[in-house]
Chain A
Amino acid sequence: MMPGPQSSLDAAGSAARVTGHLLWLFVIPLAIIFVIVVAIAVVAIFRKHRESGRPAVETERGLTRMVTGASVLTCVILLGLIAVSVSTGKAISDRAMPRNALTIEVTGNQWWWSVRYLNDDASLIVTTANEIHVPVGRPILIRGVSADVIHSFWVPGLIGKRDLIPSRVTTEWFTAEREGNYRGQCAEFCGLQHAHMAMWVVAESPARFQAWMNAQLGDSANPVTPAEQQGQKVFLEHACALCHTIRGTTANGQVAPDLTHLASRLTIAAGTLPNNRGNLAGWITDPQSIKPGNHMATVPLAAEDLHPLLDYLGSLR
Chain B
Amino acid sequence: MTHPLVTPAGPPRVWDEQQDREALARTWHDPEGFLGWFYATTHQAIGKRYILTAFLFLLAGGVEALLMRIQLARPENHFLGPDRYNQIFTMHGTTMMFLFAVPVMEGMAVYLVPLMLGTRNVAFPRLNAFGYWMYVMGGIFLYANAATGAMPDAGWFAYTPLSGPQYSFGKGVDAWAQMITFTEISALCVAVEIAVTTFRLRAPGMSLNRIPLYCWSMLIQSFMVIFAMPAVMVASTVMLLNDRTIGTHFVNPAEGGDPILYQHVFWFFGHPEVYIIFLPALGFISAIVEANTKREVFGYPALVLSQVATGFIAFGLWVHHMFATGLPQIGEAYFTAASMMIAVTTGIQIFCWLATLWSGKVRMTAAMHFVFGFLFIFVMGGLTGVMLASIPLDLQSHDTYFVVAHFHYVLIGGALFPLFGAFHHWFPKITGRMIGERLGKLSFWLLFIGFNTTFFPMHILGLNGMTRRIYTYPASLGWASGNMIATVGAMIIALGGVVFIVNAIASLRSSVSAAPNPWNAPSLEWSVESPPPDWGFTYQPVVSSRSPLWADPALRTVVTGMRNDRREIMVTGVAEAEPQFRTVLPAASLWPFLAALGISIGFTGSIFAFSWYYVGAFLGALGMIGWFWPRPPKEIEP
Contacts and interface: CB of A to CB of B under 8 A. Distances in A.
B281 interface: no
A67 B465 contact: no
Given A8-B463, A59-B359, A166-B253, A293 B83 contact: yes
Contacts of A152: 324, 399
A183 B83 contact: no
A195 B161 contact: no
A67 B357 CA distance: 13
Given A1-B461, A26-B387, A86-B336, A172 B326 contact: yes
B593 interface: no
Interface in A192-249: 192-195
B390 A26 contact: yes
B82 interface: yes
A167 interface: yes
B464 interface: yes
A60 B301 CA distance: 14
A63 B359 CA distance: 8
Which of B391, B395, B471, B479 counts the most chain A CB atoms within 10 A?
B395
A9 B463 contact: yes
A266 to B, nearest CB: 12
B148 interface: no
A119 interface: no
Interface in B533-582: none
Interface in A10-49: 15-16, 18-19, 22-23, 26-27, 30-31, 33-34, 37-38, 40-45, 47, 49
Interface residues of A, number: 84
Nearest to B472: A195
B467 interface: yes
B467 A5 contact: no
B375 interface: yes
A70 to B, nearest CB: 5
Contacts of A303: none
B81 A292 contact: yes
B390 to A, nearest CB: 4
Contacts of A89: 329, 332-333, 336, 390-392
Which of A64, A81, A92 counts the most chain B CB atoms within 10 A?
A81
Which of A30, A40, A85, A185 counts the most chain B CB atoms within 10 A?
A85
A27 B383 CA distance: 9
A78 B348 contact: no
B74 interface: no
Nearest to A41: B375
Contacts of B355: 63, 66-67
B178 to A, nearest CB: 21
B516 interface: no
A189 B468 contact: yes
B449 interface: no
Q: Number of contact residues on B: which range applies?
A: 35 or more
Nearest to A85: B390
Interface stretch (B209-217, B338-346, B418-426, B604-612): B338-346
A49 B293 CA distance: 12
A150 to B, nearest CB: 6
A74 B159 CA distance: 35
Given A149-B167, A195-B470, A1 B383 contact: no
Contact of A9 (B82, B394, B464): B464
Contact of A67 (B83, B352, B460): B352
A85 B392 contact: yes
B624 interface: no
B351 interface: yes
A93 B386 contact: no
A40 B344 CA distance: 18
A88 B329 CA distance: 12
B464 A38 contact: no
Contact of A161 (B354, B395, B473, B479): B395
Contact of A71 (B347, B460, B476): B347
Interface string A77-92: 0100110011011101
B463 A165 contact: no
Contacts of B2: none
Contacts of B375: 37-38, 41
A93 B329 contact: yes
Contacts of B63: none
Interface string A160-199: 1111011110111000000000010111111111110000
B393 A26 contact: yes
A152 to B, nearest CB: 6
A18 B329 CA distance: 18
A71 B351 contact: yes
B613 interface: no
Contacts of A150: 159, 161-162, 259
Given A163-B324, A194-B469, A1 B344 contact: no
Nearest to B469: A189
Interface of A: 1-9, 15-16, 18-19, 22-23, 26-27, 30-31, 33-34, 37-38, 40-45, 47, 49, 59-60, 63-64, 66-67, 70-71, 74-75, 78, 81-82, 85-86, 88-90, 92-93, 95, 110, 148-150, 152, 154, 156, 160-163, 165-168, 170-172, 183, 185-195, 292-293
Those 7 A-B pairs whose CB atoms lie nearest each other, nearest first: A160-B395, A6-B465, A4-B478, A195-B470, A85-B390, A44-B357, A170-B326
